[in-house]
Structure 1
Amino acid sequence: MAFRDGPFENLKVPLAWTAAVVAVVGMIGAGLLLVSDRTAPDGAAGYSGMRGATETVTGPVSGVLAAPVRWVGAVTDYVGGYFFAVSENRRLKAELAELQPWRDQAIALKNINGRYETMLGLRTEPAVPMLTARAISESRGPFKNAKLIDVGSAKGVRIGNPVINEHGLVGRVTGVTGGVSRMVQLTDVASRTPVLVDRTDARAMLTGDGSGNPRLEFVRGAGSVQAGDRILSSGDGGGLPRGIPIGIAAKGIDGSWRVKLFSDRGAVDYVRVLLFQDFSQLIDPEGLNAAPLAGLTTAPPPSEEDAGAIGDAAARRRTAAQAQSDRARAAATAPVPARPDSARPAPVRPAEISPRTPPEPAPTPGGVT
């Protein structure tokens, strides 16, 4: 049955009244929303019970209605990515090829910075001025092992300065120009380094022979070296500071003691030059002067009266000493008085001197003289 065939067939609603009712209902709803959306004193939104109930009902319904929309969006992205996968792959390959050199440079810089930080953290006791350098050339042969480093006399480098890296002693400077220095390594045949065994404090001489492991010669003391002993610089002769790590003792194939160098653990390209001349630069001359003992107390300064009394006593002592010296001088310069004849002793004649008779011998037992 159609609506016009029912009981409300002749019902006619005025349009003006309908619009007025809708407007009034809308204003009432807007007012309720404004009132219910006020802010609480603690900053949280205070919702009315009606609005809360409405959101409680419409929340799950909105989630169910929005699910198909999300599914459609995901399917669209998947299909679009599938059709554009080839172009995306080409773009990513181009970016990877562009970033590969930057990655290699970053790794190299990280290694260099790590070595710089390690070398900057090196400290000697007592402190010795250091200078960072880089190896710019290398000469290797069956007998010669040397490097050129990019610092010279313009920065204070001199012949004989020790050269170290982050692991230990590398060699010594044997030639210097304004901006370049020549460093002879411990493995060179011209290298001679006084060393000591850390465990026994035995002295020895580290001699290079062109191989990777220099020989340990002239070891003092029988059994003073064992495999695995740490070898340090001894400082004998004043050419090197004492205690710089050099290597570990090991028995060679020929039966001689050799040293596995700490400096061979990495490339010898960044080094530090010790601006070391002799032990006098490590000692403060003023520090050699003995300070007063802490247990002794200094006497307080005398008062004015005591100072006056001390001055008078000193003056009297000076006057007495002067008078005594005057009397001694006068006695020395006075003439000696002549003696009268009666006081002179009679001369002794030679005839009156009687010869000295020898003493009689003592009787011996038995009556034998």
Structure 2
Amino acid sequence: MAPPRNRRPGFSRRAQYGLFLGYVGLVGGALIATALLLLSTFNPPAFAAVRGAFAEVTTPISSGFAWVRSGIAGVPEGVGSYFNVRNENARLKKQLADNDILVSRARTLNQENRSLRELLKLRDATPESVVAARLVNSSISSTRRYATLNAGAWQGVRHGQPVRQAAGLIGQVIETSPNTARVLLIVDAESIVPVRRTSDGMPAIASGRGDGLLDIRSASVATLTFRPGDTFVTSGTGGVFAPNIPVARVIRTQRDVAIGQPTANPDALDFALVQQTFLPPPAPSPTPSPSASTAP
């Protein structure tokens, strides 16, 4: 048999206690409300003191609930701010990277413009200049040191002509084509340049080592000493390189041989100036015409 739907509290002691406590709370609340109403009416200062005491008790609890409520309400805003800050950080990093690229390009262009201005100034001051052109590549990693010039026979470049920068001598043209030329750098092992020391005019020979440096040896019979810091320029001997072109500076000495660093760095070449040889090649001797045979 199913239990009845309407069960009175008397069937459950727990329900009886709950109902009793509910009545007690209702009656107690009514009494407290009545007492506070009477107190506020007949004794306002005492009611203010009671109200202050209740405020002292309930304020920390209200503050705690307000902090929890504001924290929960601020969670979505905090999450949104995190993602916004992260996106803004990524955008600023990308902007900095782009700015670094622009600054690097600007520095490169500034360096090229400075080198080109110096080269053009040198060309205007040197009457034997042939053409100013760009060195498009250089064999840096090879033991043989060559460079390619983007000017050739159609621009007046000829075999044997010296190639230089404003800073100093670079090399000598060894091959030409209509629009390109191959340059033997002075640091190549096959390169030999007559030089002289600027301090006393001592003649010497500068030959390439193949590692970016030069060996400088005295051209005289007597053994002469070199000192770090000695500078050497072309002497004009041989008639190929014009005098007083900077070539090298001594960085260390080894007995009677000095190790020199080129004045024009061959690993950082951009533009170069091709010049005429210092002395023109001798004119070919005329071929004697055959004399008429005499009749007997």
Q: Distance in 2 between matches of 1:257 and 1:223?
A: 12
Task: Map 1:1-369 onto structure 2 (within 5 A).
Answer: 99-122=99-122, 127-140=127-140, 143-220=143-220, 222=222, 225-227=225-227, 228-253=229-254, 255-264=256-265, 267-279=267-279
Q: Which moved more, 1:149-158 or 1:200-209?
A: 200-209
Question: CA 1:139/1:279 → structure 2, altered by over 3 Å: closer, same or farther?
Answer: same
Which amino acid is 2:211 matched to? Answer: S
Q: Is the 8 A contact 1:132 1:270 kept in 2?
A: no
Task: Kindly provide the CA deviation profile for residues 11-30 of structure 1, in whole angstroms up to 9, marking residues without a partner as x.
Answer: xxxxxxxxxxxxxxxxxxxx
Q: Distance in 2 between matches of 1:222 and 1:144?
A: 31
Per the TM alignment, residue 140 of structure 1 is displaced from its structure 2 partner at its CA by: 4.4
Q: Greater relative contact order: 1 or 2 (C-alpha under 8 angstroms, separation 6 or more)?
A: 2
Q: Is the 8 A contact 2:207 2:215 kept in 1?
A: yes
Q: Is the 8 A contact 2:159 2:175 kept in 1?
A: yes
Question: CA 1:278/1:102 → structure 2, altered by over 3 Å: closer, same or farther?
Answer: closer
Task: Kindly provide the CA deviation profile for residues 12-55 of structure 1, in whole angstroms up to 9, marking residues without a partner as x.
Answer: xxxxxxxxxxxxxxxxxxxxxxxxxxxxxxxxxxxxxxxxxxxx
Q: Distance in 2 between matches of 1:157 and 1:257?
A: 33
Which amino acid is 2:262 matched to? Answer: L
Q: Distance in 1 between matches of 2:164 and 2:254?
A: 28
Which amino acid is 1:248 matched to? Answer: R
Q: Is the 8 A contact 1:138 1:146 kept in 2?
A: yes
- The count of aligned residue pairs is 198
Per the TM alignment, residue 262 of structure 1 is displaced from its structure 2 partner at its CA by: 0.9
Q: Distance in 1 between matches of 2:248 and 2:150?
A: 26
- Overall identity of the aligned pairs, in %: 23
Q: Distance in 2 between matches of 1:231 and 1:186?
A: 13
Task: Kindly provide the CA deviation profile for residues 201-241 of structure 1, in whole angstroms up to 9, marking residues without a partner as x.
Answer: 12222122323322223422646553122201011121110
Q: Secondary structure at the match of 1:127?
A: coil
Aligned-residue RMSD, C-alpha: 3.2
Q: Distance in 2 between matches of 1:191 and 1:143?
A: 12
Structure 2 spans left out of the alignment, 5+ residues: 1-80, 282-296
Q: Is the 8 A contact 2:168 2:264 kept in 1?
A: yes
Per the TM alignment, residue 98 of structure 1 is displaced from its structure 2 partner at its CA by: 5.4
Q: Distance in 2 between matches of 1:124 and 1:249?
A: 30
> Highest Rg: 1 or 2?
1
Q: Secondary structure at the match of 1:112?
A: helix
Q: Which moved more, 1:157-166 or 1:171-180?
A: 157-166
Per the TM alignment, residue 93 of structure 1 is displaced from its structure 2 partner at its CA by: 6.2
Which amino acid is 2:149 matched to? Answer: I
Per the TM alignment, residue 168 of structure 1 is displaced from its structure 2 partner at its CA by: 0.8
Higher strand share: 2
Q: Is the 8 A contact 1:163 1:271 kept in 2?
A: no
TM-score (norm. length: structure 1): 0.46
Per the TM alignment, residue 91 of structure 1 is displaced from its structure 2 partner at its CA by: 7.1
Q: Is the 8 A contact 1:174 1:182 kept in 2?
A: yes
Q: Distance in 2 between matches of 1:189 and 1:159?
A: 19
Which amino acid is 1:229 matched to? Answer: D
Task: Kindly provide the CA deviation profile for residues 231-273 of structure 1, in whole angstroms up to 9, marking residues without a partner as x.
Answer: 0101112111010001123543465223221112x74322323
Question: CA 1:120/1:224 → structure 2, altered by over 3 Å: closer, same or farther?
Answer: farther
Q: Secondary structure at the match of 1:205?
A: strand
